[in-house]
Amino acid sequence: MGLFGGQTKAADQTDYQYAPEEQEEMPQLPEPHTNTVIAKDLTVTGTLRGDGVVQIEGRVEGEVSLKGYVIVSDTGVIKGPVEADVIRIAGSVEGNIIAHDHLRLEKTGSVVGDVTTVSFVIEDGGRLNGRTTMIKETSAARTDIRPGTGGEEEMSL
């Protein structure tokens, strides 16, 4: 007999077992993009390091060191050293530049600082105020192309 006079049924005491629902397989997340844009009205202070592509439309005050590409748009400004595999400048850079593969200074671009690279293209109107050191492609390893470490041939423009 139950507490209030009713009979206890066996069905009320049935143990319920937890049966997990079959979950659908989680969808794959997209691969993260390796492109970063520093927007026109944005100022970044500090060091940027990593892999991928960085397009600078705003202002960076500090070191930029990438394994990949740096693109400085016509509104972009970098105040500090820049090191990357490929660098394209349509804005302005105040600092030394190391391009492990190629540097392109576009007609709206300006550089105040020394440049070390394997390949260098300056379009009509592009402005360079500094020294240029051209290195051989075989010595393009990141540790070998810093000025004064050998393997470079100096070229004055």
HEC profile of 81-126: CEEEEEEEECCEEECCEEEEEEEEECCCCEEECCEEECCEEECCCC
In 3D, which of 113, 103, 116 has the Cα closest to residue 146? Answer: 116
**What CA–CA distance (Å, rounded) separates 40 from 56?**
8
- What pLDDT sits at residue 143? 46
Neighbours of 11 (CB within 10 A): 6
Q: Residue 5 has which token pair? A: 């006079």
Q: What is the model's pTM?
A: 0.69
Tens-level pLDDT at each residue, the chain (157 residues) = 555 555 555 555 555 565 566 656 656 666 665 688 999 999 999 999 999 999 999 999 999 999 999 999 999 999 999 999 999 999 999 999 999 999 999 999 999 999 999 999 999 999 999 999 999 875 444 544 444 444 444 433 3
- What pLDDT sits at residue 152? 44
**What's the first-to-final CA gap in the chain, in angstroms?**
105
- What pLDDT sits at residue 153? 41
- What pLDDT sits at residue 121? 95
Q: Are strands 127-129 and 110-112 parallel, antiparallel or unpaired?
A: parallel
**What CA–CA distance (Å, rounded) separates 139 from 148?**
13
Residue 103 · residue 84 · CB < 8 Å: no
Task: Enumerate residues 6+ apart whose C-beta is below 8 A from 7.
Answer: 1
- What pLDDT sits at residue 35? 87
